[in-house]
Amino acid sequence: MLEFLRGRDVLVAGWGVSGRSLVEPLFDIGARPVVTDSGATALAEAAELGLDVATSAELEASQSATWSRFALVITSPGWRPDSPVLASAVAEGIPVWGDVEFAWWVDQARIYGPVRKWLVVTGTNGKTTTTSMVYSILRAAGIASVACGNIGLPILDALRRNPGPQVLAVELSSFQLHWAPSVRPEAGVVLNVAEDHLDWHGGLDAYAAAKARALLGRVGVVGLDDPVAASLARRSKARRTVGFRVGVPADGELGVVDGKLLDRAFTKAAILAEAGEISPPGPAGIADALAAAALTRAIDVAPQFVREGLVEHKVGPHRAALVRELGGVVFVDDSKATNPHAARSSILAHQHVVWIAGGQLKGASVEELIEEVADRLIGAVLIGVDAPRIAAMLARHAPQVPVVEVSTGDHAGMGGHTNGSGNADAVMTRAVRAAAEFAGPGDTVLLAPAAASLDMFADYAHRGRSFATAVQALEDEDLGRRL
């Protein structure tokens, strides 16, 4: 499949982590990488490594004769299909792959050893937690494995490891799946599908269709508690499709009975773990654990290793992580809750919540979320560019909930929203102090923004660290003054 690239130029669109991972494999198969990127610094870095480079403007203005030098374009996942460079390539008849699609064919061609088993995880929320759980279970079973993909390590870098893994726990975003139509995992799961990245995909149907590409292999797994994910079971092209639910499972499903995770899909009935042993706690964590169990049971990992791996797994930073308890108030960092669906799970894990939310909603609606969680909110503190939209929905559906909006304009010397660290951290400090004033013993101050972070912060991790720093600075007298 890759022979057509030997001796030919391949355009690498995007000099990020995925773009860098392409270079050595392209050289290894005899192709010549040419890098393009919208940033001058990125191109300069690539050129310093001795690589050919081309600016986006040069490529967009190129004639057919120039495009004919390229056998293939490999795009970073974030590049939209209507990006001018990619649209020009398609118009010239040049195939466009994602880095995951290329990695799949590199693996199938055995460039770096025997073909691996891919266990693919996708969904709007819970991808990283589930992928980490899969990896933990594989390690418990003594299977040479690695967690890769959207979780941080490029798949190509994982394939090039020596000694190499036998199984890949692969987290894939909707962007990556859009550009990877050939991937046929040994088992793949769609955890859930809610409004997210609609501006990129053009609508929920296209977004769900991209997620459904995880269901093209030997075993497809779907989250039955999520209506959109459950509907994908009917469209699954997997040779076998199973489901999981946070409830009593039917035959062919995984679920929970009397506080125990149970497999009724790959055996008559096998207990996998106690619900109380799962981290993070609550329905969302249990759902992720069931999904991870389904993927690993699909490749015959024994139940005892599933339990061992799930018990050993600990939640990562900024994913419903406990920051501190002060005066009976619990402070939780779920900065990774970057959309309303994720925020829903986070809020429903607590009885009395002071909610810190806001950022970039990316076209998603918070109306249904607020309707569902209104009775758990004792206060809301809003930040970021879409704070007014969230405030309007709170006024409509939860008028009893007191709301404070902390905008960048409220801080001396600030004008408008910014991702400058000092300004963003100052806003977060004010937000945390305002939230603390709503809280008393037994309450949870929860950072679950329901929105992306880039209007103010470098990324969701920066937002989480900023929250944690502000929380650690609190003292007992900062609590409960509004009660």
Residues of the binding site for ATP: 123-129
β-strand partners of 255: 262
Q: How far is the C-alpha of 461 from the C-alpha of 1, rounded, in Å?
A: 39
Annotated binding site: 123-129
Residue pair 226/192 in contact (Cβ under 8 Å)? The answer is: yes
How many angstroms separate the CA atoms of 389 and 44, rounded? Answer: 41
Residue 81 has which token pair? 């299909």
From CA 316, how far away is CA 189, in angstroms rounded? 20
380, β-bridge pairs: 355, 403
CA angle 355/382/393 to nearest 5° reads: 85
Q: How far apart are CA 147 and CA 180, in angstroms?
A: 18
DSSP-derived secondary structure for 314-381: -PPTTSSEEEEEETTEEEEE-TT--SHHHHHHHHHT-SSEEEEE-SB-TT---HHHHHHHGGGEEEEE
Q: How many CB atoms lie within 10 A of CB 410?
A: 13
In the structure encoding, which two tokens stand for residue 452, read together? 């992306």
Tokens of 430: 């004010």
Could you tell me the sign of the dihedral formed by the alpha carbons of 315, 282, 286, 333, in that order?
negative
